Amino acid sequence: MNYDIIIIGGGIFGVTTAVSLQQRGWRTAVLDPGPLPHPLAASTDISKVVRMEYGTDAQYMEMVEASLGGWRQWNERFGPLFHEIGVTMFTQQPMAPGGFEYESYQMLLKRGHHPERLNGDEISRRFPAWKPGAFVDGFYHAQGGYVESGRVVEALITQAQQSGVAILAGQTAVEIAQQGGRVTAVRTQEGDTFPTNHALVAAGTWTHLLLPELAPVMKSTGHPVFHLKPAQPELFTAPNFIVFTADVARTGWYGFPLHPREGVVKIANHGIGLRLHPRDDERVVTAQDEQNFRAFLAATFPALADAPIVYTRRCLYCDTLDEHFWIDRHPETTGLTVAAGGSGHGFKFAPVLGDLIADAVEGKVNPWLPKFRWRNLAAQTTGEEASRHHS
């Protein structure tokens, strides 16, 4: 069958776009090595943070404001996969201008939201798992929480199939065939050729392998994720413990309350990470990672200091050098669009991603797209995602 568009990658960028384009009348197929949800995809996890705090970046906050309505609608459709229990963002020193938490707090107020600022005593009283005196400032914001991300992808794949999208798992794209500067087909490692006039590369951390011209502006970085079994689960259950960042721009640490299905506390690091090859390198959490993690626990959550680690994962980001997404049509090849570069902060936007990317495919004006355009980035470009630990 000749599809109007072949989407390469069945993660959150790809599957949301498949649903949107199929609804717009495109005959759509998704190619993915599978199984789906793909076990190595960044999307596939038990939880992802939904938070609108982005320092001084008003566009990202606006996008999350729009996404929250979508998450609530998806809860009605798919069941309670979005847990809107709020977020806490605490600091080890008083919040100050230029800091992620301070600027996020001010932007929330500017845009009409109602975060609640907390001092050290209030943090200890409301969230007793936090070590008294370790964190002295910050805020609680009721709008936000987390989603069960792997189950979200699973639900969206089912929705895509029901709407007529062809989900072709077990197909690994290796070539986008062109003739006269136009896309003509996608060829796979399994030996199949899928004719099409348009290809969307939404392959996450594998994107720059398929499109080497993006290798100078994209890289794969791996970040440690830990699941713990707490001895006192009530201490780590909402509302006593909710989604948190722990001076995140300085430390990288963030995490979640006790998971309602898995019975674990997940904590991860949003930082520099370890540069890895997405296909050839092992994705393992190292002894040094665990040592750093145990030191953080002892200084922050004493009741978790000796808790058993029951699972680890090194989550592989598709980082752009500036840490903004890459959503645009190829400047030189007709019928080729890229939607990648999640840079460790893309999942929360899932309810608006599909239409955003579909607008890029169709060449429609969208006020959010210029930020994610195809762009030249110098090798020394530094990341701009405000919550990320960069040094």
Cα–Cα distance, 360 to 201 (Å, whole number)? 12
* One domain, residues 227 and 287: yes
> Is residue 57 domain-resident?
no
> Is residue 381 domain-resident?
no
pTM, 2 dp: 0.97
* One domain, residues 124 and 254: yes
Q: How confident is the model at residue 238 (pLDDT cuts 50, 70, 90)?
A: very high
Cα–Cα distance, 4 to 25 (Å, whole number)? 9
The pLDDT of 37-41, averaged and rounded, is 90
> Is residue 117 domain-resident?
yes
3-class secondary structure for 157-203? HHHHHHCCCEEEECCCEEEEEEECCEEEEEEECCCCEEEECCEEECC
Average pLDDT score, the chain: 97
- What's the maximum distance between 2 C-alpha atoms anywhere in the chain? 67
Per-residue pLDDT at 69:
98
In sequence order, what are the beta bridge partners of 221? 275, 317
Q: What is the pLDDT of residues 317-343, one digit of tens each?
A: 999 999 999 999 999 999 999 999 999
* One domain, residues 126 and 225: yes
User: How many domains does the structure of the chain reveal?
Assistant: 2
* One domain, residues 129 and 229: yes
The pLDDT of 21-26, averaged and rounded, is 98
* One domain, residues 223 and 312: yes
Per-residue pLDDT at 43:
83
* One domain, residues 210 and 233: no
> Is residue 145 domain-resident?
no
> Is residue 10 domain-resident?
yes
* One domain, residues 268 and 130: yes
SS3 at position 193: strand
* One domain, residues 162 and 297: no
* One domain, residues 126 and 231: yes
What percentage of the chain has pLDDT greater than the value 90?
Answer: 98
- Residue 263 is part of which domain span? 82-140+219-319
> Is residue 58 domain-resident?
no
* One domain, residues 130 and 103: yes
CB 83 within 8 Å of CB 145: yes
> Is residue 156's pLDDT more than 90?
yes
What CATH number is attached to the domain comprising 258?
A: 3.30.9.10
Q: How far apart are the first and last CA of the chain?
A: 50
Per-residue pLDDT at 1:
80
Q: How confident is the model at residue 183 (pLDDT cuts 50, 70, 90)?
A: very high
- Final residue belonging to a domain, choices 319, 335, 355: 319
Per-residue pLDDT at 44:
87
What CATH number is attached to the domain comprising 165?
A: 3.50.50.60
> Is residue 89 domain-resident?
yes
Which residues have C-beta within 8 Å of that of residue 160, sequence separation ≥ 6? 15, 18, 19, 22, 28, 30, 167
The pLDDT of 89-98, averaged and rounded, is 98
* One domain, residues 206 and 340: yes
- Final residue belonging to a domain, choices 274, 296, 319: 319
Per-residue pLDDT at 391:
86
* One domain, residues 160 and 263: no
Per-residue pLDDT at 111:
98
Q: What is the pLDDT of residues 256-297, one digit of tens each?
A: 999 999 999 999 999 999 999 999 999 999 999 999 999 999
> HSE of 141 in the Cβ direction (CA atoms, 13 Å)?
26
> Is residue 130 domain-resident?
yes
- Final residue belonging to a domain, choices 319, 353, 381: 319
Per-residue pLDDT at 6:
98
Least confident of 31-40, 70-79, 152-161: 31-40
